[in-house]
């Protein structure tokens, strides 16, 4: 699964065994960690440090 953070204010964070995409404190989507193949980050979006660390450690994720 590909994740696209396309709007300012979107946040990608890790919570246990899943990634959570939020905007304005509203959960847009929850995705299990093992399903992520690609993360696309556009201007104004945020990725937490825990999430970045987990993505770097996952060899199948494209940057």
**What are the tens digits of pLDDT across the range 32-56?**
988 888 889 988 999 999 998 888 8
Can you tell me which residue has the tokens 């246990």?
Answer: 16
Whole-prediction pTM? 0.83
pLDDT at 61: 54
Cα 32 to the chain's mean position, in Å? 11
46 vs 27: CA distance, rounded Å: 14
Q: Domain tally for the chain?
A: 1
Q: Is the pLDDT of residue 3 over 70?
A: yes
* pLDDT confidence tier of residue 57, bands split at 50, 70 and 90: confident
DSSP track, 14-27: EETTEEEEEETTEE
Residue 42 within any structural domain of the chain: yes
β-strand partners of 59: none
Query: Does 32 map to a domain?
Result: yes
62 in any annotated domain: no
Containing structural domain, residue 18: 2-57
Note whether 28 and 44 are within 8 A (CB). Answer: no
Q: What CATH number is attached to the domain comprising 14?
A: 3.100.10.20
Residue 28 lies in a domain: yes
Determine, yes or no, domain membership for 9: yes
In a domain, 63, yes or no: no
């Amino acid at each position: 699964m590909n994740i696209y953070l396309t709007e300012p204010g979107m946040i990608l964070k890790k919570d246990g065994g899943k990634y959570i995409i939020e905007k304005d404190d509203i959960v847009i989507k929850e995705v299990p960690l093992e399903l992520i193949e690609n993360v696309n980050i556009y201007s104004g979006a945020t990725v937490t440090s825990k999430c970045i660390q987990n993505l770097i450690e996952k060899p199948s994720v494209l940057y």
